[in-house]
């Protein structure tokens, strides 16, 4: 099968790799090279997708307190109208992406499998907007004004984590921030939404970056881009030629290059652990979609209502990138995209390395949904798990310098102390160990389970 | 969409390489020295290779059948054990002894401890040492060109002169697979290129052993003597194919280095100060036993974790 050709390990290269640079490209130690599948959708321009059906807005689509609904059933809403207030400082408001009537407020299933209280809006198909206030001269805004606007726009980490961006941009010591890193790695296989937006609207990213840099006068902006996007590297380099504070950092294509700690290591050679924030290393990391949302919020005055979404996989008739209204049902996206070419066996919300496999496609899209990946083969159930032979491929693959095979054993045996002693809590759950394991053991799953238990224990204390 | 979807924890993709593929790579890498052994020692060598492989696979199959475990012979690990054991036997060994050694390697050393991945010592070496202790005479009787002869390593120990070029190519007496350093090195390169092993263990093993020989063999800085030691006996085969056995070597990067040094020093002690000329098998088996301890003290520090972090935290609180 073609898709396995790229799976080969690169033993010699891994041996020489110093951990920071290889052949002029910055990187980190460890990682894997899964089949990237990006050719399915990378050359498909972003299409607008106009939703017709009901929209679902889960009140918890970010890290932190859930938002609290500020509309009631029967209210009519406009596109761009706030429908839920932030539930605290670490939280974010939610805006309607369509005009229509609030139909219900009830629990709905989301991609992670949880039932989350959601606002359901009957879409009238007219897309009547509330007014948006443009602001082309963002340099006249004060730092507080910018942060306030970002907070009010409901911007969260749109790469998948969903951490409220205004919190990230308000570190304890703003003068100690030396680097603003734009995460343009898009290291997850199959995903091309960040790539397409960098190809089609690069000025949004650059302007967004300049807005963030305005908040941190001593900081330098770095665009970390994997070298499988050479065209973007070249284009961005031209665009920042006259921007003394922004620099393009070409990165080696390797998963998980876009992991926050790995990206900081590659771009600045600084290391942080699970107990630190990027700000402790003088860095703030934001993903492409998030920086674009900052541009949209500040310059166009629009809150988070849309995002770029990749519908891809070998089961999809016409893999493509879409600009979707957040809240659109995945079924509707599938329908408008022409549906399946073959019966899918596994459907993943997000990328194949860290995404969530879903039970069905009756799911709302949220601020953090970047892709729906539909595959005709499930490699996890295809292979049988065999005995660990201690080969050490998981150790080589682990970007956190852990011993996954041992951690997974501690997890199976419930040995919490040993698990912590072997640095199990440092795991970033990237899945590289499970990917590399020739015994096909679900190492990452075991480690994640144990991590969750230990962290829950700690919270109880 | 009539079918139900599959749901599992991420990641949802897997590398293509599995255990049997790795074992196949090892078998391929052992072929040069196997063929040379058969060419060197004749059909008797071929017979022993076949007997050992068949016995090993059969013992695993029958054992699993008897205790009601899942059949695992498809992972090819028993083939590797059989082949390695055969390569560690003199071609003159009676067949029944080879069968006994194979059964011991699989049933006692491997299966009784829980099968693949659970054995604490290398099964092939366990089998060899079992035979060495039980049948010392036939296990140390070497013939070359039909004439009983001492191995070059025994000659080195007795301060007799040896032809190092013959040793490099393998035109000497010894076990079936150990004589040709050249063929073993070809196999080693295959293993390294296929990503099955890296140079950490063999490198530190050979380096520390060389230093030990130069310091303690009493011959001073004698390159000929060193080359004879490196090419003689089971050192090359042991360093690249048995010391690197995943199951019985440390998984931690620093542990691999310590393990390699242990091997080098122990082999040196056994060869220079011991009674017998050979020491590789015992050195590897002994080091195998040290692996859990080595791993315990060499847990690598996780990415971004710094040791002296206490003072910093105090400052941040001020």
Residue B167 included in any domain: yes
Residue B107 included in any domain: yes
ipTM above 0.85, yes or no: yes
**Confidence (pLDDT) at A6:** 35
CB contact under 8 A, A379 and B13: yes
Q: Look at residues A270, A305, A340 and tell me which one is the last residue of a structural domain.
A: A305
DSSP strand pairing (A21-22 vs A82-85): unpaired
Residue A345 in contact with partner chain B when CB distance is under 8 A: yes
pLDDT by residue (tens digit) across B196-211? 999 999 999 999 999 9
Residue B309 included in any domain: no
For residues B251 and B298, give the distance between their C-alpha atoms in angstroms, rounded to a whole number: 10
CB contact under 8 A, A354 and B17: no
Residues A155 and A278 reside in one and the same domain = yes
Minimum-distance CB partner of B10 among A340, A353, A402: A353
Residue A274 tokens, joined: 């699970």
**Confidence (pLDDT) at A5:** 34
Instruction: Give the residue ranges of DSSP H helices in chain B.
Output: 19-41, 43-67, 77-87, 95-103, 123-134, 136-139, 152-157, 164-169, 181-193, 200-216, 223-231, 235-237, 253-273, 280-297, 310-317
CB contact under 8 A, B18 and A273: no
The three-class DSSP label of residue A125 is coil
Residues A147 and A265 reside in one and the same domain = yes
| C-alpha distances out from residue B43 to B50, B99, B178, Å | 11, 17, 17
Instruction: Give the residue ranges of DSSP H helices in B217-277.
Output: 223-231, 235-237, 253-273
**Confidence (pLDDT) at A163:** 92
Residue A30 included in any domain: yes
pLDDT at B55 over 60: yes
Residues A301 and A407 reside in one and the same domain = no
CB contact under 8 A, B75 and A386: yes
For residues A69 and A94, give the distance between their C-alpha atoms in angstroms, rounded to a whole number: 9
Q: If you count residue pairs, one on A and one on B, with CB atoms under 8 Å apart, how many are there?
A: 188
Query: Distance from first CA to last CA of chain B, Å, rounded?
Result: 61
Best probe of the B interface among A386, A427, A435, by most B CBs < 10 A, is A386
Residue A109 included in any domain: yes
For residues A256 and A357, give the distance between their C-alpha atoms in angstroms, rounded to a whole number: 19
For residues A17 and A22, give the distance between their C-alpha atoms in angstroms, rounded to a whole number: 6
**Confidence (pLDDT) at A21:** 63
Residue A390 in contact with partner chain B when CB distance is under 8 A: yes
Best probe of the A interface among B8, B13, B64, B298, by most A CBs < 10 A, is B13
Residue A265 in contact with partner chain B when CB distance is under 8 A: yes
The three-class DSSP label of residue A163 is coil
Instruction: Look up tokens 């001020």; give the residue.
Output: B318
Minimum-distance CB partner of B117 among A390, A406, A432: A390
Average pLDDT, consecutive stretches of 10 residues, N- to C-terminus, chain A (461 residues):
34 40 79 92 92 92 91 93 92 94 93 91 91 89 92 90 91 90 93 94 93 92 92 92 90 91 91 90 93 94 94 92 93 91 92 92 91 91 90 93 94 94 93 94 95 91 76
Residue B23 tokens, joined: 């074992």
Residue B2 included in any domain: no
| Stronger pLDDT, B152 or B311, i.e. the higher one | B152
**Confidence (pLDDT) at A2:** 32
Residue B256 included in any domain: yes
Best probe of the A interface among B11, B72, B302, B318, by most A CBs < 10 A, is B11
Q: How far is B12 from chain A (nearest CA, A)?
A: 5
Residue A418 in contact with partner chain B when CB distance is under 8 A: no
Contact between B41 and B176 under an 8 Å Cβ cutoff? The reply is: yes
Residue A342 included in any domain: no
Minimal CA–CA distance to A288: which of A219, A227, A212? Answer: A212
Provide the CATH number for the domain around residue B62: 1.10.3430
Q: What percent of chain B has pLDDT over 70?
A: 95
Residue B257 included in any domain: yes
DSSP strand pairing (A283-287 vs A246-251): unpaired
Residues A447 and A298 reside in one and the same domain = no
pLDDT by residue (tens digit) across B138-181? 998 888 887 887 788 888 777 777 888 888 888 888 899 999 99
Closest residue of B to A37, CA-based?
A: B13
Average pLDDT, chain A: 89
For residues B32 and A111, give the distance between their C-alpha atoms in angstroms, rounded to a whole number: 54
What residues 65-94 of chain B have any CB closer than 8 A to a CB of chain A?
72, 75, 77
Residue B249 in contact with partner chain A when CB distance is under 8 A: yes
Q: How far is A390 from chain B (nearest CA, A)?
A: 5
Q: How far is A199 from chain B (nearest CA, A)?
A: 28
Which residues form the domain of B218?
Answer: 19-294
**Confidence (pLDDT) at A20:** 61
Minimum-distance CB partner of A7 among B15, B72, B251: B15
Residue A248 in contact with partner chain B when CB distance is under 8 A: no
**Confidence (pLDDT) at B315:** 43
Residue A272 in contact with partner chain B when CB distance is under 8 A: yes
**Confidence (pLDDT) at B224:** 84
Residues A287 and A414 reside in one and the same domain = no
DSSP strand pairing (A306-312 vs A371-375): parallel
Closest residue of B to A355, CA-based?
A: B10
Rounded to 5 degrees, φ, ψ at A311 are: -110, 115
pLDDT at B317 over 60: no
Minimum-distance CB partner of A403 among B11, B13, B251: B251
For residues A440 and A457, give the distance between their C-alpha atoms in angstroms, rounded to a whole number: 29
Chain A positions touching B5 (Cβ under 8 A) are: 344-347, 357-360
**Confidence (pLDDT) at A284:** 93
Q: How far is A342 from chain B (nearest CA, A)?
A: 9
Minimum-distance CB partner of A431 among B11, B19, B251: B11
Which residues form the domain of A418?
Answer: 393-460
Minimum-distance CB partner of A436 among B15, B199, B247: B15
Q: Look at residues A247, A272, A305 and tell me which one is the last residue of a structural domain.
A: A305
CB contact under 8 A, B116 and A387: yes
Q: Give how many domains chain A has, as a whole number.
A: 2
List, in order, residues 6 or more apart from A335 with CB less than 8 Å away: none
pLDDT by residue (tens digit) across A137-180? 889 999 999 999 999 999 999 987 889 999 999 998 888 899 99
What residues 347-366 of chain A have any CB closer than 8 A to a CB of chain B?
347-348, 352-361
Residue A136 included in any domain: yes
Minimal CA–CA distance to B127: which of B180, B178, B89, B77? Answer: B89
Residue A189 in contact with partner chain B when CB distance is under 8 A: yes
Q: How far is A39 from chain B (nearest CA, A)?
A: 17
CB contact under 8 A, A403 and B253: no
CB contact under 8 A, B72 and A386: yes
Minimum-distance CB partner of B301 among A344, A401, A434: A401
Residues A128 and A268 reside in one and the same domain = yes
DSSP strand pairing (A346-349 vs A356-357): antiparallel
Mean pLDDT along residues B29-46: 94
The three-class DSSP label of residue A22 is strand
Residue A433 included in any domain: yes
Q: Give how many domains chain B has, as a whole number.
A: 1
Residue A341 included in any domain: no
pLDDT by residue (tens digit) across A419-457? 999 999 999 999 999 999 999 999 999 999 999 999 999
For residues B127 and B138, give the distance between their C-alpha atoms in angstroms, rounded to a whole number: 15
Residue A250 tokens, joined: 């070409």
Provide the CATH number for the domain around residue A189: 3.40.50.11540
Residue B170 included in any domain: yes
DSSP strand pairing (A320-325 vs A47-48): parallel
Contact between A289 and A158 under an 8 Å Cβ cutoff? The reply is: yes
**Confidence (pLDDT) at B220:** 77
Sign of CA dihedral B151, B157, B160, B164: positive
Chain B positions touching A4 (Cβ under 8 A) are: 16
Buried b (16+ CB within 10 A) or exposed e, A237-252: eebbeeeebbbbbbbb
Minimal CA–CA distance to A350: which of B15, B4, B9? Answer: B9
**Confidence (pLDDT) at B77:** 94
pLDDT by residue (tens digit) across B250-266? 999 999 999 999 999 99
pTM: 0.89
CB contact under 8 A, B6 and A345: yes
Residue B12 included in any domain: no
**Confidence (pLDDT) at A232:** 92
Residue A26 included in any domain: yes
The DSSP bridge partners found for residue A46 are none
Residue A260 included in any domain: yes
């Amino acid at each position: 099968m073609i898709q396995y050709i790229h799976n080969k390990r690169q033993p010699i290269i891994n041996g020489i790799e110093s951990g920071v640079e290889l052949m002029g490209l910055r990187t980190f130690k460890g990682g894997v090279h899964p089949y990237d599948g990006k050719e399915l959708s990378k050359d498909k321009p972003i299409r607008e997708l106009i939703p017709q059906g009901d929209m679902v807005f889960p009140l918890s689509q970010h890290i932190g307190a859930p938002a609290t609904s500020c509309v009631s059933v029967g209210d009519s809403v406009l596109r761009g109208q706030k429908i839920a207030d932030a539930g605290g400082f670490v939280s974010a408001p939610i805006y309607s992406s369509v005009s229509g009537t609030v139909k219900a407020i009830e629990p709905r299933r989301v991609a992670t499998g949880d039932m989350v209280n959601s606002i359901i809006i009957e879409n009238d198909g007219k897309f009547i907007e509330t007014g948006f206030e443009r602001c082309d001269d963002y340099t006249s805004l004060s730092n507080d004004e910018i942060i306030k606007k970002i907070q009010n726009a409901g911007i969260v980490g749109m790469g998948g984590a969903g951490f409220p961006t205004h919190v990230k941009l308000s570190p304890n010591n703003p003068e100690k921030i030396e680097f603003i890193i734009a995460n343009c790695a898009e290291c997850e296989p199959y995903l091309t939404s960040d790539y397409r937006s960098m190809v089609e609207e690069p000025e949004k990213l650059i302007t967004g970056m300049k807005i963030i840099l305005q908040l941190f006068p001593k900081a330098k902006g770095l665009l970390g881009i994997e070298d499988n996007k050479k065209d973007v590297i070249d284009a961005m380099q031209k665009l920042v030629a006259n921007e003394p504070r922004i620099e393009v950092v070409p990165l080696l294509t390797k998963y998980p290059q876009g992991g926050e700690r790995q990206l900081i290591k590659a771009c600045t050679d600084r290391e942080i652990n699970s107990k630190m924030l990027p700000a402790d290393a003088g860095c703030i990391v934001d993903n492409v979609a998030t920086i674009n949302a900052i541009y949209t919020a500040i310059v166009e005055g629009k809150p988070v209502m849309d995002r770029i979404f990749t519908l891809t996989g070998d089961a999809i008739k016409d893999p493509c990138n879409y600009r979707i209204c957040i809240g659109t049902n995945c079924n509707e996206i599938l329908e408008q995209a022409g549906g399946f070419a073959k019966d899918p066996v596994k459907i993943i919300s997000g990328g194949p390395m860290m995404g969530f496999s879903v039970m069905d496609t009756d799911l709302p899209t949220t601020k953090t949904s970047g892709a729906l990946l539909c595959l005709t083969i499930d490699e996890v159930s295809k292979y049988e798990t065999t005995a660990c032979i201690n080969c050490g491929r998981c150790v080589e693959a682990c970007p956190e310098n852990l011993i996954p095979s041992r951690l997974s054993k501690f997890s199976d045996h419930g040995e919490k102390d040993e698990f912590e002693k072997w640095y199990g809590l440092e795991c970033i759950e990237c899945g590289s160990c499970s990917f590399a394991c020739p015994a096909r053991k679900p190492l990452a799953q075991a480690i994640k389970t144990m991590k969750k238990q230990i962290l829950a224990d700690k919270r109880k204390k | 969409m009539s079918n139900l979807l599959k749901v599992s924890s991420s990641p949802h993709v897997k590398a293509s390489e599995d255990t049997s593929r790795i074992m196949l790579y090892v078998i391929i890498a052992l072929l040069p020295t196997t063929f040379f052994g058969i060419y060197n020692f004749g059909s008797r060598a071929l017979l022993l290779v076949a007997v050992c492989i068949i016995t090993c696979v059969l013992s695993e199959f029958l054992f699993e059948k008897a205790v009601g475990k899942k059949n695992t012979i498809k992972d090819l690990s028993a083939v590797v054990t059989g082949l390695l054991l055969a390569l560690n036997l003199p071609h003159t060994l009676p067949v029944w002894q080879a069968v006994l050694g194979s059964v011991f390697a699989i049933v006692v050393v491997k299966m009784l401890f829980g099968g693949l991945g659970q054995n604490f010592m290398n099964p092939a070496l366990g089998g060899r040492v079992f035979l060495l202790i039980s049948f010392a005479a036939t296990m140390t009787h070497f013939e070359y060109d039909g004439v009983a002869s001492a191995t070059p390593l025994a000659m080195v120990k007795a301060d007799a002169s040896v032809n190092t070029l013959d040793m490099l190519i393998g035109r000497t007496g010894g076990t079936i697979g150990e004589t040709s350093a050249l063929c073993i090195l070809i196999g080693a390169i295959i293993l390294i290129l296929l990503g099955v092993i890296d140079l950490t263990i063999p490198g530190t093993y050979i380096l520390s052993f060389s230093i030990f020989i130069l310091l303690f063999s009493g011959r001073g800085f004698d390159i000929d003597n060193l080359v004879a030691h490196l090419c003689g006996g089971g050192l090359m085969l042991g360093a690249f194919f048995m010391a690197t056995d995943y199951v019985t070597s440390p998984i931690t990067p620093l542990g691999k280095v310590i393990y390699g040094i242990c091997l080098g020093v122990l082999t040196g002690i056994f060869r220079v100060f011991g009674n017998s000329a050979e020491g590789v098998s015992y050195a590897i088996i002994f080091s195998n036993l040290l692996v859990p301890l080595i791993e315990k003290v060499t847990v690598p520090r996780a990415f971004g974790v710094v040791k002296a972090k206490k003072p910093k935290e105090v400052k941040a609180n001020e």
